[in-house]
Amino acid sequence: MHLFWAFAQFRKCLGSPCFASFEGSCRRRWKMLNAAAADRNKEPILDVLRSRLASDRPLVGLEISSGTGQHVVHFAKAFPSITWQPSEIESQSISSIEAYREHHKLQNVKPPMYLDVSQSWENWTGLQPESCDLIVNINMMHISPLACTTGLFNGVGKILKPQGLLLTYGPYAFNGSITPQSNVDFDHSLRYRNPEWGLRDVSLLKTLGQENGLRLEEIVDMPANNKCLLFHKDSVV
């Protein structure tokens, strides 16, 4: 009799809204990927954004290659007046971003969109020319083919509003030289994994920026030998 009662209670519980919500939360947690580097660098990058953006202006922000979604939710909490559009090429990352978005219930983060940055900006579905005030790209350029870097600057030159800001973050080379040794080793390991990967030279990025109406205005030292590069859009290209 007790066993029958327990079984009936268990079945009732399975069908209850409470269980459905518990199950949904477990499924969501399962999809929420975690990158240790993103946990470490999200606050230092946010500090750079805080010091360059007016926190109460309603702005439109696009993140290119959002990865897990950890950055976009962190930035969205700090800047509720910015409407954020995360994007990714990888389906697992898109699921993770969506899971973070649902978990944090943030009204100012749009559903993640598929975006292959190596493609021409006309294929960046739904993004209009001069529609974004801010574009963020973290730790992508060195770990993707050069076509992603050139695509990034071509696309950002179109999508950013005049006076808009592009922030990129990562390790970089300067005039053909990489420092310190840990970044040299990292560059070798990337090129060993894929000959098309490797640290990008800031002089190349400056040139790509100029070709697309983006002026490199500031290089900010970041922890662990990384930098933030801040480009402003000068004019309509």
Ligand X SMILES: C[S@@+](CC[C@H](N)C(=O)[O-])C[C@H]1O[C@@H](n2cnc3c(N)ncnc32)[C@H](O)[C@@H]1O
Residue of 174, 157, 79, 81 whose CA lies nearest to 117: 157
Toward ligand X, which CB reaches closer, 146 or 234? 146
Residue of 111, 123, 110 whose CA lies nearest to 158: 123
Toward ligand X, which CB reaches closer, 187 or 234? 187
Choose the stretch contacting ligand X; rule: CB under 6 A; options: 60-68, 187-195, 200-208, 228-236: 60-68
Q: Is position 93 an interface residue for ligand X (rule: CB under 6 A)? A: yes
Toward ligand X, which CB reaches closer, 179 or 194? 194
Write down the residue that tokens 């922000």 correspond to: 61
Toward ligand X, which CB reaches closer, 114 or 234? 114
Among 83, 85, 95, 144, binds ligand X (CB under 6 A): 144
Among 117, 127, 202, 229, binds ligand X (CB under 6 A): 117
Question: Facing residues of 138 across strands?
Answer: 169
Q: Is position 140 an interface residue for ligand X (rule: CB under 6 A)? A: yes
- The contacts of residue 54 (CB under 8 Å, 6+ apart) are none
Tokens of 148: 């992603």
Residue of 115, 29, 114, 104 whose CA lies nearest to 71: 104
Interface positions with ligand X (CB under 6 A) = 35, 38, 65-68, 88-90, 93, 115-118, 138-140, 143-144, 148
